[in-house]
Amino acid sequence: MKISHIDVFKFNIPLKAPIAISLGTIESARNLLVRIHADGLIGWGEGSPFWMIVGETQETGYAAARDFARLLIGQNALDIEGNLNRLDAYLPNHPTLKSAFDMALYDLAAKAARMPLYAFLGGTKRTLVTDETIYLNSPERMAQDAIRIKEKGGVAIKVKLGTNQRDDIRRVEVIREAVGGGIPIRTDANQGWDYVTAVNVLRTIQDWNIEYCEQPVKAWNIADLKQLRQKTTVPLMADESLFHHRDALRLAQEAAVDYFNIKLSKSGGIFNALKINTIAEAAGIPCMIGCMSESRLAITAKAHFASARRNITFFDLDAPFEHAADPVVDGVVYDGYAVRLSDNWGIGAEIDALFLESLENYTIR
């Protein structure tokens, strides 16, 4: 099953409003789309390069994808590990771009096997329930968003923090007052606190039904992360500290966190995400499947992966809620906050042909 040609697109999706986290603000989803052709089948893949997290931009990925595509032309599309090893050997890092190629290869392989991706990965179909994220804003505006989520039937509210101690405590306090004590709050500081601030914030809010806190301190600071875990009853989740399976092994050995956040745009795709989850499962660490700002195409691939692995118990698949356009055909269906998969072969989603025509692209043969 030889790869004949590969199309690469600048996959731009407008947002309803800018998205602000402690690391920066994005005005639109500037993603990358890869389409791999082999023996009459097409595999689709998407990556969402948040430069402030992964060190990539759409421009760097779009340029590097030319060389990645050339490395794969003529190769066996079903040799997923061999093809990904070629990319790793040629250019280190660049996990977001690699995740797009990885996703397309898995889509092709599952289609060749005439199986939905979750079954190709050895799992079963299950309904996932996503949270919804509230991005940085005034406490009052964030509380309004929280009320909206609760009224829509949300099972959990994810709250972005990471600015300063006073404002972050106030944000959580106002949200909790607005929605009552029943619905859990998931906090995410995106590395925004130092150790002392993290201790003070988490100790203040820990009795307010806080389900966990993602990445409270800098990604490299495993020592403070481990120490912080002893200072609060709020469970800690690794995000920016966790890119690949070697990070997972270190975090598990250090007993630094309670949970892992797996994102395909960080791990380099499904192949490495499976390794991360295996290490987590062996260490007794439940995982979450997270997202950057992907369309429903990549979200569908993530849902397949999460459905196939029961150790993934948290689901943060709300990126399309922020998009002002949905160019995806088929794929997951949102029923409120339930995320439902079909039994179509492969990922089971593709991009609308008319929308594709509007995107800057090139083809490598």
pLDDT tens for 120-174 read: 999 999 999 999 999 999 999 999 999 999 999 999 999 999 999 999 999 999 9
Candidate from 23-32, 71-80, 122-131, 232-241 with smallest mean pLDDT: 23-32
Q: Which residues contact 166 (CB under 8 A, 6 or more apart)?
A: none
Query: Tokens 């799992």 — which residue?
Result: 123
Alpha-carbon distance of 263 to 282, in angstroms, equals 19
Asked whether the beta carbons of 103 and 120 are under 8 A apart, the reply is no
The larger pLDDT score, comparing residue 218 to residue 50, is at 218
Please name the amino acid found at residue 151: E
pTM of the predicted model as reported, rounded to 2 decimal places: 0.97
Q: Which of 218, 213, 169 is nearest to 193 (CA)?
A: 218
pLDDT given at position 234: 98
> Is 281 among the annotated ligand-binding positions?
no
Locate 61 and state its tokens. 């990925």
Question: What SS3 class is residue 137?
Answer: coil
Which tens digit of pLDDT belongs to each residue from 56-101?
Answer: 999 999 999 999 999 999 999 999 999 999 999 999 999 999 999 9
> What is the CATH code for 3-114+353-364?
3.30.390.10
Least confident segment among 16-25, 61-70, 240-249, 338-347: 16-25
pLDDT grade, residue 261 (50/70/90)? very high
Angle at 313 between CA 310 and CA 318, to 5 degrees: 120
Asked if pLDDT for residue 276 goes beyond 90, the answer is yes
Residue range(s) in the chain whose domain bears CATH number 3.20.20.120: 119-350
Q: Is the separation of the CB atoms in 194 and 165 below 8 Å?
A: no
First to last CA, the chain: 15
pLDDT of residue 52: 85
Tell me yes or no: is domain 119-350 CATH 3.20.20.120.
yes
| 188 annotated among ligand-binding-site residues | yes
Q: Active-site residue numbers? A: 160, 263
User: Is 239 marked within a binding site?
Assistant: yes
The CB density around residue 263, as the number of other CB atoms within 10 Å, is 27
Average pLDDT, the chain: 97
CA atoms within 13 A on the CB side of 252: 19
What burial class does residue 15 get, using C-beta atoms within 10 Å of its C-beta: 0-12 exposed, 13-18 middle, 19+ buried?
Answer: middle
For 123, 134, 211, 265, 334, the CA distances from 182, given in Å and listed in that order, are 32, 17, 11, 33, 23
Token output for 171: 């944000």
